[in-house]
Amino acid sequence: MGVVRLASSTSASSMVAIVAVLGLVLNLAVVCNGGITSTFVRTIKYSADMPLDSDVFQVPPGHNAPQQVHITQGDHQGNAVIVSWITADEPGYSGVIYWSADSKNQTAVGVVTTYTFYNYTSGYIHHCTIGNLSFNTTYYYVIGIGNTERQFWFTTPPEVGPDVPYTFGLIGDLGQTFDSNRTLTHYELNPLKGQTVLYLGDLSYANDYPYHDNVRWDTWGRFTERSAAYQPWIWSAGNHEIDFAPELGETIPFKPYTHRYYVPYNASGSTAPFWYSIKRASAYIIVLASYSAYGPSTPQYQWLETELPKVNRSETPWLIVIMHCPWYNSYYSHYMEGEGMRVTFEPWFVKYKVDIVFNGHVHAYERSERVSNVAYNVVNANCTPVKDQSAPVYVTVGDGGNLEGLSTVMTEPQPDYSLFREASFGHGIFDIKNRTHAYFSWHRNQDGYAVEADSAWLFNRHYYPVDDSKSIRA
């Protein structure tokens, strides 16, 4: 207890002026009962939303030009893409023209939808699935008509297989502040080059505005287009997507979210867009819903019960779960909120040897050891989490930078299972190398783009179930 040592990372503040004065900022860390509680100190805890006239919110020029363009995986295997965008003035055209270096132009036509929220009326929201794409291939696509055509591109993942390297970005609770913009910029300029974002819930934070001002859903869509139009963002829903507002006459939960963000839930046999799965390269990704019913007999429970046995680890060695609310969280913020779902699903995670779980919700970063807490049965006293080599690593990356600020207060002492925690804005990278090894890193916004404030090698639970807790902090 109380041992002070230098953490392995030396971080340079992104505030160049301060760096020039101080030189390198040494990052002290305190080792408590558990792992490391980083003592890195940020100067500002809160940051304001970017004003409506910010550069990142600019409406593209031209009458009815497509805006808020974003893509996500469109099927279970990874050779379809859902392209979504909004036209503000009139329905326009829901078609996508797309081609690769080896194929001639093809066209797919999607659907258009709208919604109202209190006194807000959405633009025309288009969703078009383009399928039968070749793997590992760059496609160009064009949306809009006449003078307002806009062109983008994306690269499909390699065909699913056990040794296909692939790099995922982890972003959660992004919002639309100046810090959010820094997080997205750091993700884009990270030399580890994420190929797909696993989004950990809480998107626009529009509901923090009076009347849930849905204009802030539109600004968020324009802000994130610069990444989400070029690489898929795999969506999971957070509490800020619920938008349940009976005082405004809005009683359909998730109304803005489900109209704006389509996901391929149907392809994995799910009956609702809040829980589903995809395969991508060597990963099997299960998206769970912290804000949908999960108890026995519920649709989500039944789906997960039949889903987990379907995962073929010989084909997709890396079993990743994403959901908004963490089960293992040693911050005051949202403390124990995840307990109900943990009690319900944790035995399955251990049985099926989930490799890693990514969460948002808590506006901070935390990484756990492989730990489980499945022995407790109310009458025995076995209620302490124990090290468990069949259990996942739990990582909270809820630090995208939204207007609610950071969760800085932590429970003390740091629990044994908590290996590293710090309340700073940033993003994560999960870099799968092959069937046995993956490298996780966390990048705080104050550092240079290449700096890893925390990192760990993960050994695959199916192919290489060796204790990886000591491999930590490469």
Ligand X SMILES: *[C@@H]1O[C@H](CO)[C@@H](O)[C@H](O)[C@H]1NC(C)=O
Among Fe ion, ligand X, none, what does residue 18 contact (CB within 5–8 Å per kind)? none
**Alpha-carbon distance 59 to 418, whole Å?**
44
> Cβ 359 to ligand X, closest distance in Å?
26
**Alpha-carbon distance 104 to 227, whole Å?**
26
> Is the CB of 5 or the CB of 310 nearer to ligand X?
310
Q: Using an 8 Å Cβ cutoff, are 74 and 266 in contact?
A: no
Please tell me whether residue 148 binds ligand X under the rule CB under 6 A. Answer: no
The type of residue at 354 is V
Q: Using an 8 Å Cβ cutoff, are 433 and 165 in contact?
A: yes
> Is the CB of 55 or the CB of 61 nearer to ligand X?
55
Among Fe ion, ligand X, none, what does residue 211 contact (CB within 5–8 Å per kind)? ligand X
| Catalytic hit among 70, 334, 361, 363 | 334
Instruction: Name the residue with the smallest CB distance to ligand X.
Output: 131
**Alpha-carbon distance 168 to 431, whole Å?**
6
Please tell me whether residue 125 binds ligand X under the rule CB under 6 A. Answer: no
C-alpha R_g of the chain: 22
Query: How many residues interact with ligand X (rule CB under 6 A)?
Result: 30
> Cβ 48 to Fe ion, closest distance in Å?
19
Please tell me whether residue 266 binds ligand X under the rule CB under 6 A. Answer: yes
Span near ligand X by CB under 6 A; candidates 18-26, 35-43, 47-55, 319-327 = 47-55
Measured CA to CA in angstroms, residue 181 lies from 20, 136, 185, 386, 402 at distances of 23, 29, 6, 38, 10
Beta strands in 178-303 (DSSP E): 196-199, 233-234, 276-280, 283-287
**Element spanning 421, H or E:** strand 418-422
Among Fe ion, ligand X, none, what does residue 361 contact (CB within 5–8 Å per kind)? Fe ion
Span near ligand X by CB under 6 A; candidates 60-68, 81-89, 97-105, 359-367 = 97-105
> Is the CB of 130 or the CB of 362 nearer to Fe ion?
362
Candidates 10, 58, 119, 382; binder of ligand X (CB under 6 A) is 119
Output the 3-class SS for 367-388. Answer: EECCEECCCCCCCCCCCCCEEC
Among Fe ion, ligand X, none, what does residue 164 contact (CB within 5–8 Å per kind)? ligand X
> Is the CB of 421 or the CB of 462 nearer to ligand X?
462
Span near Fe ion by CB under 5 A; candidates 24-32, 54-62, 226-234, 355-363 = 355-363
> Cβ 240 to Fe ion, closest distance in Å?
6
Distance of CA 261 to the CA centre of its chain: 14
Candidates 123, 238, 264, 426; binder of Fe ion (CB under 5 A) is 238
Among Fe ion, ligand X, none, what does residue 239 contact (CB within 5–8 Å per kind)? Fe ion
What one-character DSSP code corresponds to residue 197?
Answer: E
Candidates 219, 239, 258, 407; binder of Fe ion (CB under 5 A) is 239
**182-211 binders of ligand X (CB under 6 A):** 185, 211
Q: Using an 8 Å Cβ cutoff, are 81 and 55 in contact?
A: no
Q: Using an 8 Å Cβ cutoff, are 428 and 395 in contact?
A: yes
> Cβ 41 to ligand X, closest distance in Å?
23
Q: Is position 462 annotated as part of the catalytic site?
A: no
Please tell me whether residue 25 binds ligand X under the rule CB under 6 A. Answer: no
**Alpha-carbon distance 123 to 145, whole Å?**
16
Candidates 361, 363, 427, 435; binder of Fe ion (CB under 5 A) is 361
Please tell me whether residue 53 binds ligand X under the rule CB under 6 A. Answer: no
Distance of CA 197 to the CA centre of its chain: 6
* Ordered strands of the 150-155 beta sheet: 106-109, 95-100, 138-143, 150-155
Candidates 38, 67, 129, 424; binder of ligand X (CB under 6 A) is 129
Span near ligand X by CB under 6 A; candidates 129-137, 237-245, 394-402, 407-415 = 129-137
**337-396 binders of ligand X (CB under 6 A):** none
Distance of CA 126 to the CA centre of its chain: 23
Strand bridging mode 28-31 / 36-38: antiparallel
Residues 6 or more apart whose CB falls under 8 angstroms from that of 325 comprise: 238, 239, 290, 334, 337, 338, 341, 359, 361
CB atoms < 10 A from the CB of 301, how many? 16
> Cβ 426 to Fe ion, closest distance in Å?
17
Site residues for ligand X per CB under 6 A: 50, 54-56, 80, 97, 99, 105, 119-120, 129, 131-132, 136, 142, 158, 164, 178, 181, 185, 211, 266-267, 312, 314-315, 433-434, 436-437
Site residues for Fe ion per CB under 5 A: 202, 238-239, 361
**Catalytic residue annotation:** 334
